[in-house]
Amino acid sequence: MKILKCLLFVFLFVLFGCLTENDPLPSWNNGAAKQAIVDFVKSTTTKGSPDYVPQEERIATFDQDGTLWVEHPLYTQVVYCLDRVPEVVKEKPELKDQEPFKTILSGDQQAIAKLSMEDLKKILAATLTGMPVNQFREEVNNWISTAKHKKWDKKYTDLTYQPMKEVMAYLRANGYRTYIVTGGGQDFVRVYSQETYGIPPEQVVGTATGVSYDYDKDGRPYLTKEPRLLLNDNDAGKPEGIHLIIGRRPYAAFGNSDGDKQMLEYTWAGEGKRLAMLVLHDDADREYAYGPAEGLPETKVGEFPQSLYDEAVKNGWIVISMKRDWKDIFTHD
């Protein structure tokens, strides 16, 4: 009997091992979204499959804000820029009495919310450009290691979506290279992408500005971030950035807003099997609810209009419901 018990134990142990090993997406509930991901990976990576894709061509692209981590109530990078204003004013005191810096420093949230796009651009230029590349990296690194999201009192890098990290790990385990293709700053995201997502800097495509080339007093060259826009990596800028930096069409693309539409269309238009997915924020209890789902409020951040929803349905793209498809949302759940 002892032997039987022992065998049973071994059997259960192996069974458990097989079951967990066979589920590369444990934070996903069973359903069409999870199934679509598994089907896509199997059919593009199984030798002999009519949809087989050679390893060097396996590219998957992910929007960041709202697709890989929380984007509400403000994009993380915008919070960074606002937080940097006092420091920038300390370095350039003449800005203290100039708008929009004066309003930011006042702390008047209502007035801040009313700032125009032109005002925001001034803040972005003042906080994201004008400094050596190395200094910028250090500033972002210091901030991202300590700043916290008020709703959860957690670091932003702890507010990444566990189910999407599982998708990236699953794709990588099957020979895909995973890229972030973000409207956010390329230099900003590259600071933490390796540690946060396992994505190296050369696999981050984002909104990019030029750099100038100068020599320090010892004759050593250094690069300074300039407010000269090279790539606005939103909307049609996403396929443009993909063409510029990767030079290959992705086989899978993940987004959550109108700014990702062209990236998904471009991915979807390629030959053979493709995967195009949109994250729908419909979980007010665990995260936020906004977008085209019934009764959800429209917002400016991460806009997911009805037209995008209709295009997704028409094309056969998969809309991921955070509420139904995700068992856990955050790693800390």
Name the residue nearer to its own copies (CB basis): 226 or 328: 226
- Is residue 54 a contact residue for its own copies (CB under 8 A)? no
Does an H or E element contain 9, and which? Answer: helix 2-22
- Is residue 316 a contact residue for its own copies (CB under 8 A)? no
Does an H or E element contain 113, and which? Answer: helix 109-113
- Is residue 141 a contact residue for its own copies (CB under 8 A)? no
- Is residue 221 a contact residue for its own copies (CB under 8 A)? yes
Stretch that binds its own copies, among 85-93, 105-113, 147-155, 198-206 (CB under 8 A): 198-206
Nearest distance, CB of residue 222 and its own copies, angstroms: 8
What is the pattern of x (binds its own copies, CB under 8 A) and - over residues 15-44? Answer: ------------------------------
**For residues 128 and 330, what is the distance between their CA atoms, to the nearest angstrom?**
29
- Is residue 266 a contact residue for its own copies (CB under 8 A)? yes
Name the residue nearer to its own copies (CB basis): 56 or 285: 56
**For residues 168 and 171, what is the distance between their CA atoms, to the nearest angstrom?**
5
- Is residue 186 a contact residue for its own copies (CB under 8 A)? yes
- Is residue 208 a contact residue for its own copies (CB under 8 A)? yes
**For residues 260 and 305, what is the distance between their CA atoms, to the nearest angstrom?**
12
75 contacts 256 by C-beta, under 8 angstroms: no
Q: How many residues does the chain have?
A: 333
Q: In degrees rounded to 5, what are phi and psi of residue 100?
A: -90, 5
- Is residue 138 a contact residue for its own copies (CB under 8 A)? no
Q: In degrees rounded to 5, what are phi and psi of residue 18?
A: -65, -45
What is the pattern of x (binds its own copies, CB under 8 A) and - over residues 97-126? Answer: ------------------------------
- Is residue 250 a contact residue for its own copies (CB under 8 A)? no
With CB under 8 A as the contact rule, the residue among 262, 288, 308, 322 that binds its own copies is 262
Q: Give the tokens for residue 305.
A: 């209009």
Nearest distance, CB of residue 204 and its own copies, angstroms: 7
- Is residue 58 a contact residue for its own copies (CB under 8 A)? no
Radius of gyration of the chain measured on its C-alpha atoms: 22
With CB under 8 A as the contact rule, the residue among 23, 240, 258, 328 that binds its own copies is 240
- Is residue 245 a contact residue for its own copies (CB under 8 A)? yes
Nearest distance, CB of residue 52 and its own copies, angstroms: 19
Beta bridge partners of 208: 231
How many Cα neighbours within 13 Å face the side chain of 101?
21
With CB under 8 A as the contact rule, the residue among 6, 12, 173, 269 that binds its own copies is 269
Positive or negative: CA dihedral 35, 29, 330, 23: negative
In sequence order, which ranges of 254-295 are alpha helices (DSSP H)?
Answer: 261-268
- Is residue 136 a contact residue for its own copies (CB under 8 A)? no
Cis peptide before 100 (omega within 30 of 0): yes
231 contacts 237 by C-beta, under 8 angstroms: yes
Name the residue nearer to its own copies (CB basis): 89 or 199: 199
**For residues 211 and 96, what is the distance between their CA atoms, to the nearest angstrom?**
27
Amino acid letter, 181: V
Nearest distance, CB of residue 201 and its own copies, angstroms: 3
3-class state of residue 300 by DSSP: coil
- Is residue 139 a contact residue for its own copies (CB under 8 A)? no
**For residues 262 and 30, what is the distance between their CA atoms, to the nearest angstrom?**
28
Nearest distance, CB of residue 212 and its own copies, angstroms: 7
- Is residue 246 a contact residue for its own copies (CB under 8 A)? yes
Binding site for its own copies (CB under 8 A): 56, 133, 186-187, 190, 200-202, 204, 208, 210-213, 220-223, 230-231, 236, 239-240, 243-248, 262, 265-266, 269
